[in-house]
Structure 1
Amino acid sequence: MTDLSNASLAALPADIARPGYDRSAVTPGIVHLGVGAFHRAHQAIYVDDCLAAGETGWGIVGASLRSPDTRDALAPQDCLYSLAVRDGQGESLRVVGSILSLLVAPENPERLLEALCLPSVHIVTLTVTEKAYLRNAAGDLDLAHADVMWDLAHHDRSKTVYGFIVEAVARRQAAGIGPFTVLSCDNLPANGKTLRRLLLQFAEARDAKLAAQVEQSIAFPSSMVDRIVPATTDADRTRVAAALGVADAWPVRTEPFSQWVVEDRFPAGRPAWERFGVTMVDDVGPFEDMKLRLLNGSHSAIAYLGLLSGHETVADAFSDPMIRRFVQGLWNEAIPTLPDNAGLDPKAYIGKLTDRYDNPALQHRTAQIANDGSQKLPQRIVATAVEQLRRGGAIDHLALVVAAWIAACEARGGALDADLFTDPLDAQLAGVFAGLSSAAADTVSQVFDRTGFATGQAERPDLQRAVSAHLDVIRNAGIGAAIATLAEG
């Protein structure tokens, strides 16, 4: 079968949407770090819309900081790929052309630095996931991390986002090229402020004058992103190829819903994203909190409760009445922690979430969501629980999510496959999760110490006690019994 490419676009079936612009006339205006399935289903789509509307100065140079897989799949296709939007009614396909080139930083870091220094590049975006921010237990940049230390010593052979961005700032300044804006699209609270703080810590460790340049010239707007993007399967590739009539090595599957809320601070310019559904705001914080606590928090709950209950997908787990009731209870605990004067509508939002979780077409695997729990739970669950405790509110459901994560980690290699999901702290937590000989309270105490959950918070002991009580029930009677205790209460 012929591969998807610029040359094969004209032969696609008439009902397949495709780039309605001359890709050869597009110039790069954005460098995206961490190109992967989510970026290709989210930010790249909004940019594709802008390109189709005639804003041809915003093509994307995508870069992977680790694996060459995306480049190897898409480069032979002229970086084209298809987006499959699925729900219970069927599937629609669209070929996306906004990514102009794909780089692999470990293979040639200089090429990425050259792209970051193009005068036409005005925005650097990131979806590198929480663990790539390389924070220590206190939430600061881990200056003792091997990759950070390498970047401080080898400016032209960077490995981290900090090394690449700071070196690019230095080079652009030396060449008289104006600064770019750095836009985080990761699921972190105040992601722009967080990235700015960490990047300044790196720049300060490298050169105080350079840190001052970063602080004075670079804007770091925060953003909130939301779209469910399950991992692509071979079945997806086969189905998409049959519909296109050409082979696509890496299509992306997603849901109809998509949301992007962005703080409107782009001194170097930006695409007219608002024309295509992006919400441009002064403060993204309230929207971000609602998403982290209601969507991401319930996603983690469904993942760990689902795995412990034998459910492979979100739709399967959410169709379990026990888990469905639990998620509603979790939302009831989280909603009071949201601001009531920011124009939010939590009830309407969870109504949309319910519809999304009920979508059987996505086949979003609980094991995929379960990855990196030690990095995700602080924002999604722990912060919410701490806020509820301060308010004098209940945390039964919130604490059970943390206990379920611990129980799922402990179950790997036993009731669950050993490699079903992973965590950046697996090596540090291996001894804690090695067996069930420790009392639940001891296990929870060690986990909180190693992960930094609620460090420095007066509410930490109360949260640990609640998590310990749930973990004890899970260990002795199972996840169903633990959920049942909430219904009884």
Structure 2
Amino acid sequence: MEQLSRSIKLENLPAQVTYEHQDHLPEKIVQFGEGNFLRGFVDWMIHELNKQGLFNGKVVAIQPTPHGKVVPKLNAQDGLYTLALRGIENGQIVERNEIISSISRGINPYSNWDEVLKVAESPDIQFVFSNTTEAGLTYLEEAYDKQKSPLSFPGKVTAFLYHRYKVMNAKPEAGLVLIPCELVEGNGDVLKELVLRYAKEWNMPKEFTTWVNNHNQFSNTLVDRIVTGYPKDNIEEYRDILGYEDVLLTAGEPYHLFAIEAGEDVAERLPFHQAGLNVKWGPITPYRELKVRLLNGPHTMMFSICYLSGVDTVLEAMQDPDLGEFVKNGMIEEIFPTVKMDEKEKRLFVESVIERFENPYNKHFLTDIGMNAVYKYKSRLIPSMLDYIEQTKKLPQSILFSLAALIVYYHPDRNDGDFLIGRRGNNEYTIRDNKEALSALTKAWELFENDGADVSRLTTSVLEDEELWGINLNAIDGLNELVASNVSSILLHGMKESVRKLAKAATK
């Protein structure tokens, strides 16, 4: 089977594959990272811009770590790869396969740092994108050697900017727009602070710091798309569809959201919105709240309830009449009213979330969502809970039932190193969280078991812990009693029957 490359003949491609190759475009973007997410998100967007003649530029992908394996594959395929989008969009099942041609080449900076510096010298370069994971957007103490690539991502950016500053004589127009995509709040601000820290510790001139501050823009961003990467479990099916070999085949969902904190000048140079892409320019806080509350919040609300009801994935939960109705009700009736945003935009977002939850191509395991669930509950659901109580003077039934379910999910059957092991029927599952959360829940369950199975002692111990929740939840009138009642119901009747009882009570 022929390998994907620029020599592939368009007439040989099957009808299910689209390919619009753009040659002879200048390199305008430096990208630190070449993984699945950037290729399925940013590089796809640049490809869309190029197809419509709105950008006409290519991406240079820089390998972020010494042990990366993507760059040789990327160069062997002339920068090409296939993006397969699968899911539900506007009520219709979507299956799209497109060869993406926005990447010109990949560079390994550890063996070809001089090539990276040549890119820094190019007047065509305008933007820097990145996704080096949360761990990449951190400080690493290291020495500066102009002949070698720094190990850290912020160190690379600092050295790249410094070389550009020197070669281009500190011209204001040499400044770049840096748009990090790491899942770190205030990612642009964090990157800028790190660059300035390296510049100081590497004794770079103060004029360089001034140039960085005055002529380079660091944008905070919010990204949202599930990119699952290489579909190894059903690769033969994809090979039959594509008719060629692609070792960088990347799968993802159709939905995407990119919020970028930048001005109109940047939006005009990167006109994503003109290409019909779901990109929002300006303050990202409203979109962060929208995503955290109405996407991440329902995920955290559902995971323990649905898993302990006997299903393993989000899709299975949504296909179950009782569980699916519970998720939708909690999302729409309790979380939705607490989000401060245009009603139409909120409703469109909720509809997209339900379509994503019901995506038949995504295998999103509930136990994965349950990792670090105490912190997730604190950041994703407590704010909605408090706002709902303030707005309605009532307790949110679904949100608090999910808190009871979380407590039951954290019931330890035994220890396993740094984690706990819970039990669902005859099956074990691993409870992964920080030491403080695991210790607090373990002690609370020991109180319950050593004190004549007193559920109120259990819930009181859990809910009063301000380190876990950021607030003493027992101080909220009636909350402990409701959570204790739900825990008792779950222990007595089982999770699934308790969900049914909750639904019946809601209809009365």
TM-aligned CA distance change 1:442 to 1:320, over 3 Å: same
Matched residue type, 1:335: F
The answer to whether structure 1 residue 124 and structure 2 residue 128 are counterparts is yes
Q: Tell me the distance in 2 between the aligned counterparts of 1:437 and 1:107.
A: 56
Matched residue type, 1:174: K
Q: Tell me the distance in 1 between the aligned counterparts of 2:52 and 2:222.
A: 24
Normalized against structure 2, the TM-score is what? 0.73
Q: Tell me the distance in 2 between the aligned counterparts of 1:304 and 1:262.
A: 33
TM-aligned CA distance change 1:275 to 1:216, over 3 Å: same
Q: How many residues align?
A: 466
Describe the SS at the equivalent of 2:326. helix
Following TM superposition, by how much is the alpha carbon of 1:115 offset from its aligned partner in structure 2, in angstroms? 5.0
Q: Tell me the distance in 1 between the aligned counterparts of 2:111 and 2:183.
A: 27
Matched residue type, 2:105: S
The answer to whether structure 1 residue 51 and structure 2 residue 43 are counterparts is no
Match of 2:96 in 1: 92
Following TM superposition, by how much is the alpha carbon of 1:40 offset from its aligned partner in structure 2, in angstroms? 2.3
Q: Tell me the distance in 1 between the aligned counterparts of 2:110 and 2:406.
A: 33
TM-aligned CA distance change 1:467 to 1:393, over 3 Å: closer
Q: Tell me the distance in 2 between the aligned counterparts of 1:258 and 1:420.
A: 32
Match of 2:10 in 1: 10
Q: Tell me the distance in 2 between the aligned counterparts of 1:400 and 1:67.
A: 45
CA contact (8 A) 1:30 1:122 kept: yes
Instruction: Determine what percentage of the aligned residue pairs are the same residue.
Output: 18
423, 428, 433: which one aligns with 1:415: 423
Normalized against structure 1, the TM-score is what? 0.76
Describe the SS at the equivalent of 1:274. helix
Deviation string 1:385-443 (CA, Å, 9 cap, x unpaired) is 454455556455445556656765767644389998896x6577665677853665598
TM-aligned CA distance change 1:430 to 1:378, over 3 Å: closer
Q: Tell me the distance in 1 between the aligned counterparts of 2:117 and 2:408.
A: 43
Match of 2:141 in 1: 150
Match of 2:454 in 1: none
TM-aligned CA distance change 1:410 to 1:108, over 3 Å: farther
Q: Tell me the distance in 1 between the aligned counterparts of 2:298 and 2:287.
A: 16
Q: Tell me the distance in 2 between the aligned counterparts of 1:15 and 1:346.
A: 36
- Of stretches 205-214 and 97-106 in structure 1, the one that deviates more from structure 2 is 205-214
TM-aligned CA distance change 1:276 to 1:473, over 3 Å: farther
Describe the SS at the equivalent of 2:141. helix
Following TM superposition, by how much is the alpha carbon of 1:33 offset from its aligned partner in structure 2, in angstroms? 3.4
Following TM superposition, by how much is the alpha carbon of 1:241 offset from its aligned partner in structure 2, in angstroms? 0.9
Following TM superposition, by how much is the alpha carbon of 1:338 offset from its aligned partner in structure 2, in angstroms? 1.8
204, 214, 217: which one aligns with 2:215: 217
TM-aligned CA distance change 1:198 to 1:256, over 3 Å: closer
Deviation string 1:148-181 (CA, Å, 9 cap, x unpaired) is 2425888965444433333433333333362211
Deviation string 1:104-161 (CA, Å, 9 cap, x unpaired) is 6778777667656654332222334556555xxxxxxxxxxxxx24258889654444
Describe the SS at the equivalent of 1:4. coil
Following TM superposition, by how much is the alpha carbon of 1:199 offset from its aligned partner in structure 2, in angstroms? 3.5
Match of 1:138 in 2: none
Match of 1:275 in 2: 274
- Of stretches 308-317 and 360-369 in structure 1, the one that deviates more from structure 2 is 360-369
Match of 2:357 in 1: 357
Following TM superposition, by how much is the alpha carbon of 1:53 offset from its aligned partner in structure 2, in angstroms? 3.0
Matched residue type, 2:328: Q
Match of 1:137 in 2: none
Answer with 1 or 2: which has the greater Rg: 2
Q: Tell me the distance in 2 between the aligned counterparts of 1:67 and 1:485.
A: 53
Match of 2:155 in 1: 163
TM-aligned CA distance change 1:102 to 1:365, over 3 Å: farther
Describe the SS at the equivalent of 2:312. coil
Match of 1:33 in 2: 32
Q: Tell me the distance in 1 between the aligned counterparts of 2:66 and 2:474.
A: 36
Q: Tell me the distance in 2 between the aligned counterparts of 1:337 and 1:403.
A: 21
The answer to whether structure 1 residue 233 and structure 2 residue 237 are counterparts is no
Following TM superposition, by how much is the alpha carbon of 1:479 offset from its aligned partner in structure 2, in angstroms? 4.2
Match of 1:334 in 2: 335
Q: Tell me the distance in 1 between the aligned counterparts of 2:133 and 2:488.
A: 32
CA contact (8 A) 1:219 1:266 kept: no
The answer to whether structure 1 residue 437 and structure 2 residue 446 are counterparts is yes
CA contact (8 A) 2:313 2:363 kept: yes
Describe the SS at the equivalent of 1:292. helix
Q: Tell me the distance in 1 between the aligned counterparts of 2:10 and 2:295.
A: 40
Match of 1:175 in 2: 167
Matched residue type, 1:183: I
TM-aligned CA distance change 1:122 to 1:300, over 3 Å: farther
Matched residue type, 1:260: F
Q: Which runs of 5+ in 2 are unaligned?
A: 413-419, 449-457
RMSD: 4.4
Q: Tell me the distance in 2 between the aligned counterparts of 1:410 and 1:72.
A: 47
Q: Tell me the distance in 1 between the aligned counterparts of 2:210 and 2:465.
A: 38
Matched residue type, 2:41: H
TM-aligned CA distance change 1:234 to 1:280, over 3 Å: closer
Match of 2:255 in 1: 257
CA contact (8 A) 2:34 2:61 kept: no
TM-aligned CA distance change 1:204 to 1:283, over 3 Å: same
Deviation string 1:243-300 (CA, Å, 9 cap, x unpaired) is 1111222322233333334344275773322222234433333233222211232234
CA contact (8 A) 1:63 1:112 kept: no
Match of 1:200 in 2: 193
Matched residue type, 1:415: R
Match of 1:139 in 2: none
TM-aligned CA distance change 1:122 to 1:378, over 3 Å: farther
Match of 2:295 in 1: 295
TM-aligned CA distance change 1:6 to 1:480, over 3 Å: same
Following TM superposition, by how much is the alpha carbon of 1:85 offset from its aligned partner in structure 2, in angstroms? 2.4
Match of 2:246 in 1: 248
TM-aligned CA distance change 1:66 to 1:347, over 3 Å: farther
Matched residue type, 2:423: A
Matched residue type, 1:271: L
Q: Tell me the distance in 2 between the aligned counterparts of 1:128 and 1:266.
A: 27
Match of 2:20 in 1: 20
Following TM superposition, by how much is the alpha carbon of 1:14 offset from its aligned partner in structure 2, in angstroms? 4.2
Following TM superposition, by how much is the alpha carbon of 1:46 offset from its aligned partner in structure 2, in angstroms? 1.4
Deviation string 1:199-229 (CA, Å, 9 cap, x unpaired) is 4266347629466554433323344433333
Q: Tell me the distance in 2 between the aligned counterparts of 1:474 and 1:152.
A: 60
